[in-house]
Structure 1
Amino acid sequence: MDTVTKPEKENAKPKPLDRDRLMSTSRKAVAEAALEALNQVQARPANEQMLGIATVFAVYCHRFMVDPQEMHSVGLKVLRAEAHDFKTNLQIDVLRDFAGIVAPKPFSQLI
């Protein structure tokens, strides 16, 4: 079992995130982080995966002082295909596939 390292002193206290930076993070970077997290728990039974990820989500929301419902909505928005998405994003496609979300074809494939 891997051990969790104690955060450095500067990271020890909860602090709010920079909302501008949070909302402008690239979808690719978000998807890569999500895939890293999923990769770490996939060997566990589904119930442990679900509750483990839910607990980590709650910890992160508390630590960074964000509203869990808002972050859930933002996460769903990241997965949703938007009209302006002209190119495919492999990482997002992998996450959609894992969740069983059928995404519409990118605009470039429709013409």
Structure 2
Amino acid sequence: MLLALLMCYAGFTALCLSTDRHHDELLHSKPSPRRRLGLRIAGWLVLTVSIWPAVAVAGWGLGLVQWCAVLMFSALLLVLLLPYRPRLALILAGLGVLVSPVAAFATL
């Protein structure tokens, strides 16, 4: 479930950065249309692929339920961090991307 959590958080962060307001707040610049589109595609792709580790660990019946819980938890974490600790939200997403390969090998 750790891999699904890391992927969901990274996906939601990418979707968050695809908006002008959050991109400016976190990275102090406006995103170009190409970057905005790339972040949206990457965010939705990572969120879609995050179903795989949940289903691989627990099967379709329980895996989808656990994936929904991880999806809600990662969104809640990002929503709670953005107003108070925006830099921490961005750092956690970066760390999540770096730790994801280790979590992928741990599930095998």
| TM-score with structure 1 setting the length | 0.33
User: Computing the radius of gyration over CA atoms, which structure comes out larger, 1 or 2?
Assistant: 1
* Structure with more relative contact order (C-alpha pairs < 8 Å, separation 6 or more): 2
Q: Which is helix-richer, 1 or 2?
A: 2
Output the TM-score relative to the length of structure 2: 0.34
